[in-house]
Amino acid sequence: MSQYSRRKFLQQLGAGIILLPGVPRFVHAAVPRSDKKLGIALIGLGSYSTYELAPALLETRNCRLAGIVTGTPEKAAKWKERYKIPEKNIYNYQNFDAIADNDDIDAVYVVLPNSMHHEFTLRAAAAGKHVICEKPMAVSVTECTEMINACRKAGVRLLIGYRLHFDPYHQAAMKFRMSKEAGQLHTVDAAFAFRIGDPTQWRLKKSLAGGGPLMDLGIYCIQASRYSTGSEPLTATATIEEKTDPKKFAEVEETIRWQLEFPDSVTATSMCSYNKQANYLKLTSENGWLELQSAFSYGGISGRTNTGTLDFPHINQQALQLDGFSRCITDHLESDADGEEGRKDMKVIEAIYRSAATGMKESVK
Smallest gap, in angstroms, from Cβ of residue 49 to ligand NAD?
A: 6
Q: Which of 163, 226, 343, 344 binds ligand NAD (CB under 6 A)?
A: 163
Of 42 and 182, which CB lies nearer to ligand NAD in the complex structure?
Answer: 42
Q: CA-to-CA distance for 268 and 20, rounded, in angstroms?
A: 23
Cβ-based neighbour number of residue 19 at 10 Å: 14
Report the largest interatomic distance among the alpha carbons of the chain, rounded to a whole angstrom.
65
Q: Which of 83, 194, 202, 289 binds ligand NAD (CB under 6 A)?
A: 202
CA nearest 37: which of 100, 107, 85? 107
288 binds ligand NAD (CB under 6 A): no
Smallest gap, in angstroms, from Cβ of residue 323 to ligand NAD?
A: 16
Q: Is 158:238 a contact under the CB 8 Å cutoff?
A: no
Instruction: List the beta strands (DSSP E) in 53-144.
Output: 63-69, 90-91, 107-110, 130-133
216 binds ligand NAD (CB under 6 A): yes
Smallest gap, in angstroms, from Cβ of residue 335 to ligand NAD?
A: 15
Of 39 and 161, which CB lies nearer to ligand NAD in the complex structure?
Answer: 161
Whether 135 is catalytic: yes
Of 54 and 266, which CB lies nearer to ligand NAD in the complex structure?
Answer: 54
State the virtual CA torsion across 332, 334, 339, 344 in degrees, nearest 10: 170
Q: Which of 63, 105, 112, 156 binds ligand NAD (CB under 6 A)?
A: 112
Smallest gap, in angstroms, from Cβ of residue 32 to ligand NAD?
A: 26
Q: Which residue is nearest to ligand NAD (CB)?
A: 46
Q: What is the CA radius of gyration of the chain?
A: 20
Q: CA-to-CA distance for 97 and 124, rounded, in angstroms?
A: 7
Q: CA-to-CA distance for 37 and 33, rounded, in angstroms?
A: 9
Of 9 and 194, which CB lies nearer to ligand NAD in the complex structure?
Answer: 194
Q: Which of 19, 23, 208, 315 binds ligand NAD (CB under 6 A)?
A: 208
Site for ligand NAD in 257-276 (CB under 6 A): none
140 binds ligand NAD (CB under 6 A): no
Q: Which of 79, 124, 130, 134 binds ligand NAD (CB under 6 A)?
A: 134
- Structural element, H or E, at residue 328: helix 317-330
123 binds ligand NAD (CB under 6 A): no
Applying CB under 6 A, the span of 112-120, 122-130, 244-252, 273-281 interacting with ligand NAD comes to: 112-120
Site for ligand NAD in 40-69 (CB under 6 A): 44-49
In our burial notation (b when 16+ CB lie closer than 10 A, e otherwise), range 258-290 reads bbbbbeeebbbbbbbbbbbebbbbbbbbeebbb
Q: What are φ and ψ of residue 324, in 5° steps?
A: -60, -45
DSSP class of 217 = I
Of 187 and 316, which CB lies nearer to ligand NAD in the complex structure?
Answer: 316
Residues 6+ apart with CB under 8 A from 161: 109, 111, 132, 133, 134, 135, 321, 337
210 binds ligand NAD (CB under 6 A): no
Q: Which amino acid is at 34?
A: S
Smallest gap, in angstroms, from Cβ of residue 244 to ligand NAD?
A: 24
The bridge status of strand 278-285 relative to strand 185-193 is antiparallel
Cis status, amide bond into 136, omega within 30 of 0: yes
Applying CB under 6 A, the span of 111-119, 140-148, 189-197, 240-248 interacting with ligand NAD comes to: 111-119
| Residues forming the site for ligand NAD (CB under 6 A) | 44-49, 71, 111-114, 134-135, 161, 163, 202, 208, 216
Catalytic annotation, residues = 135, 220
